[in-house]
Amino acid sequence: MDAPRYVAKRLAQSHDDERSSIRLGRLLDAQDLRITLLSPLEERDLTRELPIATTAVIELEDPRVYLNGFELLLITGLGLPTDADRIGAYIDRLLEAGITALGFGLEPVYSAVPQLLIAACRDRGLPLLEIAPEVRFVQVTNHVAKELESTRVRGLQLVSTMARRLTKAALLPHPDRQLVSALAAMTESWLILRIGDDLFQIGPPAQGIEAESLVEQFSRQLETPAHDTRDSQAQAFGVVAGAEQHYEVTALSIRPPNARAATTTELLLVKAPRITSDDRTALMLAADLLQLVLALPRSQSNALDQLMMLLLIDETPPARSRREADRFSRLVMRSLGTGRRQSGHAVIAISATGEPAHAADVMWWRRLMNTPFVDHRGEQLRAIVATPPSPSVIGACEERGWLLSISEEQPPNDLHHAMRDAELLITRVRELGRSVQSGEDLRTLTTVVPPGLSSRFAQETLHPLAALGSQADEVQRSLHSWLLSNGAWDQTARELGLHRNTVRRHIATAADLLGRDLGNALVRADVLVALTITASRRADDEAG
């Protein structure tokens, strides 16, 4: 194992060690200890970041039974083998034990660090320190103990400060973004938050790394069962290469307890050259608060939502002056977090099985729609949102048996019209058995007419053609093609593979049986719609 690989491996494994530690660089910088780094020759900056959790003085050739990992092991060479093979085996055992570094004290046993030991450490990537003769091991252990205590006290103070700042952020409007912004400022890191299809990033971005691809990469890791999961938060760690340097990444998947929504919430902290223990502490604090923010709202919040919906939707807005209307619009849009956008949509969810909505459904609904304006009425869940739900959100609702009716956008003072628009679409949603957004199906008449009425209209219009018996389908196909080609005889004949006289005979027969003047544009339109509906129903039946 070479130096970069061992150092990088131990740094990655240090994420799972919860003990207090200090960085190896702190010892190297202590002038009174006079410690020199002899190995490794590469990745020295990375080596300085290795954590030391404790010190040990063991002169055994196999000290593994007394080691727990991340130690600074101090020796004088008293029990050190003298041949290359045994020294190599000794270093291999230390690597297996997972020590951070080997400290070699000069004198009284050796006046210089043995070259065989230096070579073995460099070959395998184990950090090797030379400790000057005048420095006693007790000085090193005392220095590490004092640094650890200082780190522990400072950590407690830092946690208290971070908790106050993050809690304050969680109480502000749009707490999810406020939390991430506060975390980015505290850790001086690049933070990426993905909630469903929404991606929010803040802080200095990693050069040469795209946020979307990075989130997808770690999202796949978070889905792997082998990754750490604590308190409903799956965790993943990694190192990614940027344009000029490497960045460490810690990713969390946040799942509020008992959450019904399928929306994925992932939080990534990206930093170079490495993520410190303080950064990880802040990240976990922010994740815990974010979990609470995304969890079930309190009953008081539900009551406020109901009141706001009553004011916005159920009552005709009172007459307002222009200034009052503008202020009302700003407040509504600010509550929705739309920035400069000055419109909103109404969304109604109905149960595909006709079951009524419950209070617990409202809690899930609020988080999924990401809006403070939600309520339920009978079997309906209702919401006012800044933008229409994304396809993934619609899919999440339909998977749970909820079909959505989505209005066209309306200005804040006309949101009650948006809700009426969504209510008018409910019948269409039930008949289609899927979610519908206002305006998506309005380009053709057949999609506007309810399926029950359209089938009846087609049947009544085309019923006389049933008298043709087995020839009815052939005549209907000729009539349909002829109307679609705007009465072009030759084009219809080519499309159907018939002689033009046969087409003329079919059209004449149909006109006679229908008792309608096919030269009239309105009559043609009625018959064409009826034929289109019949063809569509037949295709659906064959597909089923």
299-442: CATH, from 2.60.120, 3.30.2410, 3.30.70, 3.40.50: 3.30.70
Mean pLDDT for all residues in the chain:
83
Using pLDDT thresholds of 50, 70 and 90, give the confidence band for residue 297: very low
For the segment 269-289, the average pLDDT, to the nearest whole number, is 88
For the segment 230-236, the average pLDDT, to the nearest whole number, is 67
User: pLDDT tens digit string along 501-540?
Assistant: 998 999 999 888 988 888 888 888 888 888 887 877 776 5
Q: What is the pLDDT of residue 260?
A: 40
Asked if residues 95 and 6 have their Cβ atoms less than 8 Å apart, the reply is yes
Choose among 208, 274, 206, 209: nearest CA to 239: 274
**What long-range pairs does 328-331 form, CB within 8 A, spacing at least 24?**
328/412, 328/413, 329/411, 329/412, 329/413
Using pLDDT thresholds of 50, 70 and 90, give the confidence band for residue 365: confident
Q: What is the pLDDT of residue 160?
A: 84
Asked if residues 519 and 498 have their Cβ atoms less than 8 Å apart, the reply is no
**Higher-scoring residue by pLDDT: 427, 193:** 193
Task: Kindly calculate the radius of gyration of the chain based on its CA atoms and give it in whole angstroms.
Answer: 36
Domain assignments of the chain as residue spans, ordered by start: 3-146, 171-294, 299-442, 451-543
CATH of region 451-543? 1.10.10.2840
Using pLDDT thresholds of 50, 70 and 90, give the confidence band for residue 70: very high
**Cis omega before residue 40 (within 30°)?**
yes
Using pLDDT thresholds of 50, 70 and 90, give the confidence band for residue 324: low
Using pLDDT thresholds of 50, 70 and 90, give the confidence band for residue 54: very high
Q: Is 38 helix (H, G, I), strand (E, B) or coil?
A: strand
Neighbour count for residue 132 (Cβ, 10 Å): 12
Whole-angstrom Cα distance, residue 530 to residue 515? 15
Those residues whose C-beta lies under 8 Å from the C-beta of residue 249, and which sit 6 or more positions away, are 214, 218, 237, 238, 239, 240, 268, 269, 270, 275
**Higher-scoring residue by pLDDT: 544, 120:** 120
Taking 3-state DSSP, the helix, strand and coil percentages for the chain, each rounded to the nearest 5, stand at 50, 15, 30
Positions of E strands within 255-406 = 265-271, 345-351, 374-377, 380-385, 402-406
**Higher-scoring residue by pLDDT: 428, 282:** 282
**Cis omega before residue 81 (within 30°)?**
no
Handedness of CA 458, 461, 462, 463 (dihedral sign): positive
171-294: CATH, from 2.20.180, 3.30.70, 3.30.450, 3.40.630: 3.30.450
Residue 295 has pLDDT above 70, yes or no: no
Q: What is the pLDDT of residue 262?
A: 47
For the segment 82-111, the average pLDDT, to the nearest whole number, is 95
- Identify how many contiguous H helices and E strands the chain contains and give both numbers: 21, 18
For 382, phi and psi rounded to 5 degrees? -125, 150
Residue 78 has pLDDT above 90, yes or no: yes
Least confident of 10-19, 179-188, 353-362, 440-449: 440-449
Residue 258 has pLDDT above 50, yes or no: no
Whole-angstrom Cα distance, residue 540 to residue 544? 6
Handedness of CA 193, 199, 200, 204 (dihedral sign): positive
Helix axes 472-484, 521-543, angle to 10 degrees: 120
Tokens linked to 528: 């064409």
For the segment 228-234, the average pLDDT, to the nearest whole number, is 55
Q: What is the pLDDT of residue 533?
A: 79
Choose among 385, 536, 331: nearest CA to 451: 536
User: pLDDT tens digit string along 464-473?
Assistant: 888 888 888 8
CATH superfamily of 3-146: HprK N-terminal domain-like (3.40.1390.20)
Percent of the chain with pLDDT over 70: 82
User: At residue 451, what is the residue type?
Assistant: P
Whole-angstrom Cα distance, residue 157 to residue 151? 10
State the chain's maximal CA–CA distance in angstroms.
121
User: What is the DSSP-derived secondary structure letter of residue 407?
Assistant: P
Asked if residues 438 and 410 have their Cβ atoms less than 8 Å apart, the reply is no
Residue 493 has pLDDT above 70, yes or no: yes
For the segment 127-145, the average pLDDT, to the nearest whole number, is 96
For the segment 75-92, the average pLDDT, to the nearest whole number, is 95
Q: What is the pLDDT of residue 343?
A: 83
Whole-angstrom Cα distance, residue 365 to residue 233? 22
Fold equal for 171-294 and 299-442: no
